[in-house]
Structure 1
């Protein structure tokens, strides 16, 4: 098999709110939006009578897919990075200090930017649904 990456998906509770965050706060460009439903989709995702609205965003060589399902599942509890199954989205920026200073006050961060022993400066924040997003300056 010669698998290649197509997209990285995040299920969200409110697609419009999530798009505002990823587009307006993080600066990602919306590539496309679409809806999918029907028996084949519901069977494929393993959710009875499922339909979903999607938005694909350009993250500079990576495609991030935001998806809002109907019906919605139960909200998951926040996971920490060190827990098995913990996930996050990593986005490189040129000037993390400036990006951090420009974040809206309501964006939750785990800490101010910190330079690790590898020389990379990192800052983790949470999107509106609690998904961790790592901003890093290599």
Structure 2
């Protein structure tokens, strides 16, 4: 069973603020392990682990996907919080609408609406 996704971040405070303000996460725990600061964030049944220091950049293929009924509105909210819109919003052939953004540490964030 899936538990969480972990991402490397350069500035944990900036990332906590971004995910709290832009996506409604709350901090669920914080500790130091092996010289790294680890912060767990939660929203509903979704957990993110922010790991700092980030010795390597995030992978271009890894992304966090969030379901939403309002891709355009949520994309605007993320941009106001510091994300960079990279693609979309656009409709796919199957009717889904999506957008791709990059968060404060270059992590890819997908917003997806599968409702028709």
TM-score range, shorter chain: 0.7 to 0.9
Tell me the equivalent position of 2:86. 110
In the comparison of the two structures, how many residue pairs are matched?
A: 113
Runs of 4+ in 1 over 4 A off after TM superposition: none
Tell me the equivalent position of 1:83. none
CA shift for structure 1 position 111: 2.4
Question: 1:78 touches 1:130 (CA, 8 Å); kept in 2?
Answer: no
Give yes or no for the alignment of 1:22 onto 2:6: no
> 2-side partners of 1:31 and 1:97: how far apart?
28
Gaps of 5+ in 2: none
Answer with 1 or 2: which has the greater Rg. 1
Which of 1 and 2 has higher RCO (CA within 8 Å, sep 6+)?
2
Question: 1:59 touches 1:91 (CA, 8 Å); kept in 2?
Answer: no
> 1-side partners of 2:5 and 2:82: how far apart?
25
| TM-score normalised by the chain length of structure 1 | 0.71
Q: Which structure carries more strand by proportion?
A: 2
CA shift for structure 1 position 106: 4.2
Change (3 A) 1:115 1:59: farther
- Aligned CA-pair RMSD: 2.0
Question: 2:82 touches 2:104 (CA, 8 Å); kept in 1?
Answer: no
Gaps of 5+ in 1: 38-50, 80-85
Deviations 1:31-55 (A, max 9, x none): 2222223xxxxxxxxxxxxx11111
